[in-house]
C-alpha cells in the first residue's frame, strides 16, 4: 500500500515524510487556490522537499483535449522524473488521457465518481485512477464503488492502479486499506488523525514515569 499526501503544503509534506513512508504528493486546483500561493510557488516548494523517488501530481486546467495536453506538457516539464499529470475523466479528458499516454506521460485519471469511469480511463492507459471516495459516499456507496473497481481491475489485466482520494475521515481510509487498496491520497490532518491516539501517549508517559521513579532517568541508560 502506498500513502500519498493530498496537499499543497510543502511543510506538512516534509514533516510527514520524516514520520511516515510517503510515496508522494497529489494536488488539485482547489487545494492550490486555497493555499494562497501560485501554482508555480506550490510546485517549487514541493519539489524542494520531495525526494526524487516521491511522485508529484498536478492537474490540468484546460477543458478541451488539446488544451489539456498543452497543460500536461507544462506540468511534466517541471521535473525530470516522477512528475504525473492529473486529467479529469470528462469526454475531453478521456481523449487527453489517450494522447498523454501515447506520449509516455505518467497519467492519473481524476474526478472519478463511478467505478465505470475509472475502468474506462484504465482502458485508455491511465496509470493511476483517483476515485473521490467521500464525494461518492455523499451520492451513494463510495466505498462500495471502489471495492467494485478493485475487482474489475483484478480481472482485467489492465496495469492501472487505484489511488483512492477525497477522504474526510480515518474510517473511510481504514475501510479501503482493509479491502486491499493499492494506494490512498489523504490530507495531512486526516493522516495525523490516523497516527495519533491519546492512549498511546498516556502509555508512554506511564512507562517513562515508572522508569524515572526507579532509575532516576528518562532515557534507557
Ligand atoms: O485531490 C482530489 C481529491 O482528493 C478531492 O478531494 O476533499 O475536494 O473531495 P476533496
Q: For 60-95, how does the pLDDT look when each residue is reduced to its tens digit (9 = 90+)?
A: 999 999 999 999 999 999 999 999 999 999 999 999
* CA 16 to the chain's CA centroid: 14
pLDDT confidence of residue 32: 98
Of 34, 81, 86, 168, which residue is the catalytic one?
Answer: 86
Residue 54 contacts residue 79 (beta carbons within 8 Å):
no
Grid cell digits, residue 127: 496509470
Ligand 1 atom closest to Cα of residue 135? 9
Q: Which residue has the higher pLDDT, 13 or 138?
A: 13
**Closest residue (by CA) to atom 6 of ligand 1?**
166
**Closest residue (by CA) to atom 9 of ligand 1?**
166
Residue 125 contacts residue 107 (beta carbons within 8 Å):
yes
**Mean local confidence (pLDDT), 91-101:** 98
pLDDT confidence of residue 124: 98
pLDDT confidence of residue 89: 98
**Mean local confidence (pLDDT), 101-106:** 98
- 190 in contact with ligand 1, CB cutoff 6 A: no
Sequence spans of domains, the chain: 2-196
Residue 69 contacts residue 54 (beta carbons within 8 Å):
no
- The pLDDT confidence band at residue 4, using thresholds 50, 70 and 90, is very high
pLDDT tens sequence across 14-65? 999 999 999 999 999 999 999 999 999 999 999 999 999 999 999 999 999 9
Q: Where are the alpha helices (DSSP H) in 103-221?
A: 115-123, 133-139, 142-154, 170-178, 188-195, 198-215
Torsion sign over Cα 182, 187, 190, 196: positive
Phi and psi, residue 4, nearest 5°: -110, 155
pLDDT confidence of residue 105: 98
Fold of 2-196: TIM Barrel (3.20.20)
Q: Are strands 183-186 and 55-59 parallel, antiparallel or unpaired?
A: unpaired
Nearest Cα neighbor of 46 from 21, 23, 29, 27 is: 27
pLDDT confidence of residue 50: 98
Q: Indicate the helix (H) or strand (E) that contains 44.
A: helix 39-49
Cα(140) to ligand 1 centroid in Å equals 17
**Closest residue (by CA) to atom 7 of ligand 1?**
166
Is residue 55 flagged as an active site residue? no
Cα(132) to ligand 1 centroid in Å equals 6
**Mean local confidence (pLDDT), 1-18:** 98
Torsion sign over Cα 15, 16, 18, 19: positive
- 134 in contact with ligand 1, CB cutoff 6 A: yes
pLDDT confidence of residue 100: 98
pLDDT tens sequence across 151-201? 999 989 999 999 999 999 999 999 999 999 999 999 999 999 999 999 999
Ligand 1 atom closest to Cα of residue 27? 1
Ligand 1 atom closest to Cα of residue 59? 1
* CA 189 to the chain's CA centroid: 14
pLDDT confidence of residue 171: 94
Amino acid at each position: 500500500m502506498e500513502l500519498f499526501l493530498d496537499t499543497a503544503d510543502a511543510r506538512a509534506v516534509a514533516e510527514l515524510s520524516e514520520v511516515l513512508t510517503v510515496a508522494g504528493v497529489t494536488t488539485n486546483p482547489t487545494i492550490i487556490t486555497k493555499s494562497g500561493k501560485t501554482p508555480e510557488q506550490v510546485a517549487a516548494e514541493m519539489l524542494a522537499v520531495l525526494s526524487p523517488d516521491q511522485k508529484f501530481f498536478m492537474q490540468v486546467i484546460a477543458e478541451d483535449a488539446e488544451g489539456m495536453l498543452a497543460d500536461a506538457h507544462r506540468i511534466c516539464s517541471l521535473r525530470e522524473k516522477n512528475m504525473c499529470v492529473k486529467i479529469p475523466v470528462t469526454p475531453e479528458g478521456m481523449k487527453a488521457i489517450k494522447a498523454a499516454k501515447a506520449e509516455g506521460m505518467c497519467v492519473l485519471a481524476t474526478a472519478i465518481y463511478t467505478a465505470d469511469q475509472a475502468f474506462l480511463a484504465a482502458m485508455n492507459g491511465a496509470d493511476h485512477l483517483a476515485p473521490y471516495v467521500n464525494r461518492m459516499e455523499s451520492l451513494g456507496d463510495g466505498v462500495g464503488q471502489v471495492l467494485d473497481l478493485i475487482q474489475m481491475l483484478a480481472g482485467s489485466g489492465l496495469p492501472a492502479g487505484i489511488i483512492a482520494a477525497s477522504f474526510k475521515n480515518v474510517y473511510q481510509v481504514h475501510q479501503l486499506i482493509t479491502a486491499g487498496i493499492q494506494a490512498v491520497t489523504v490530507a495531512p490532518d486526516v493522516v495525523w488523525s490516523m497516527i495519533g491516539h491519546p492512549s498511546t501517549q498516556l502509555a508512554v508517559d506511564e512507562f517513562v514515569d515508572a522508569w524515572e521513579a526507579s532509575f532516576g532517568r528518562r532515557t534507557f541508560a
